[in-house]
């Protein structure tokens, strides 16, 4: 082996060794970077989406009018409170009587049972504003117009005739998890003091509109 060939061999061996050692370093670091990045997306960011199909509740605004097209009701609404004996006030017995909203209940469109009452008959004046309430059927609509111009559209879920002696207080006034409406009048057979039953319509919010409705 000549000196020139020895130098060439040593130089080539050194170069190849250095090149071999230096070339592996970036290959090792790249997978490490992927491993660090991989677990992070599976952490808690996906919990934020919750229930999206719940009915849209409205803010509190006093109802001023009630329409029930199926039974021809279109009435202004009074505000009713409590009588001295703890019973709910009812609208006055007059000709062309009106229905009334119980003001200690949620406004129509708010979450909770909004209560509206009307007479079935008004003595010598004949039929009351809720004379045909018992004719309502499941799926028919009642629209409450609010003071702020919006309207809450309710769809009837159930029409119940109950004895006054067994009035379902919890079903009518108890808490619920969505905007609902109760329409109450009298019904059933007449006794010495008047009607023996109550007719109660249970409805739930199915839509809202802005502005005045025809």
Partner 1 sequence: MRRTVLSATALACTAVLAGTVPAFADGTTPSPVPSTTRSAEPSAVPSEAPSAEPTRAASPVPTRDSRQVAAVPAGAPDTGVAEPSSDSGTEGALIGGGAAAVLAAGMAVYAVRRRATRA
Residue 6, H or E segment? helix 3-37
Regarding 130 and contact with partner 1 (CB under 8 A), the answer is yes
CB count in 10 Å sphere of residue 52: 5
Nearer to partner 1 (CB atom), residue 169 or residue 210: 169
The set of residues, in sequence order, having a beta carbon less than 8 Å from that of 174 and lying 6+ positions away, is 113
Binding mask 151-180 for partner 1 (x = CB under 8 A): -------------xx-x-x---xxxxx---
Half-sphere exposure of 134 (CA within 13 A, CB side): 15
Binding mask 183-212 for partner 1 (x = CB under 8 A): -xxxx--x---xx--x--------------
Kindly report each contact of residues 15-18 with a partner whose C-beta sits within 8 Å and lies 24 or more positions away, as own/partner.
none
Q: Which residue has the tokens 């990045």?
A: 37
Nearer to partner 1 (CB atom), residue 2 or residue 210: 2
- Please provide residue 160's backbone torsions phi and psi, each rounded to the nearest 5 degrees: -125, 135
Regarding 105 and contact with partner 1 (CB under 8 A), the answer is yes
Residue 161, H or E segment? strand 151-163
* Contacting positions for partner 1 (CB under 8 A): 3, 6-7, 10-11, 13-14, 17-18, 21-22, 24-25, 28-29, 32, 35-36, 39-40, 43-44, 47, 82, 85-88, 90, 93, 102, 104-106, 110-113, 115, 117-124, 128, 130, 164-165, 167, 169, 173-177, 184-187, 190, 194-195, 198
């Amino acid at each position: 082996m000549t000196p020139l060939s020895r130098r060439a061999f040593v130089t080539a061996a050194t170069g190849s060794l250095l090149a071999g050692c230096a070339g592996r370093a970036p290959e090792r670091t790249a997978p490490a970077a992927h491993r660090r990045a991989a677990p992070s997306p599976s952490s808690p960011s996906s919990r934020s989406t919750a229930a999206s199909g719940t009915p849209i509740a409205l803010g509190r605004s006093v109802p001023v009018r009630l329409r029930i097209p199926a039974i021809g009701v279109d009435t202004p609404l009074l505000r009713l409170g409590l009588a001295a004996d703890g019973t709910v006030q009812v609208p006055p017995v007059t000709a062309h009587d009106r229905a009334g909203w119980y003001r200690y209940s949620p406004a129509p469109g708010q979450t909770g049972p909004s209560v509206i009452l009307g007479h079935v008959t008004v003595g010598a004046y004949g039929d009351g504003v809720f004379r045909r309430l018992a004719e309502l059927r499941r799926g028919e609509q009642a629209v409450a117009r609010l003071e702020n111009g919006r309207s809450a559209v309710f769809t009837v879920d159930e029409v119940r005739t109950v004895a006054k002696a067994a009035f379902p207080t919890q079903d009518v006034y108890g808490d619920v998890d969505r905007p609902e409406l109760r329409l109450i009048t009298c019904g059933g057979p007449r006794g010495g003091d008047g009607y023996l039953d109550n007719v109660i319509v249970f409805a739930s919010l199915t839509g809202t509109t802005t502005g005045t409705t025809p």
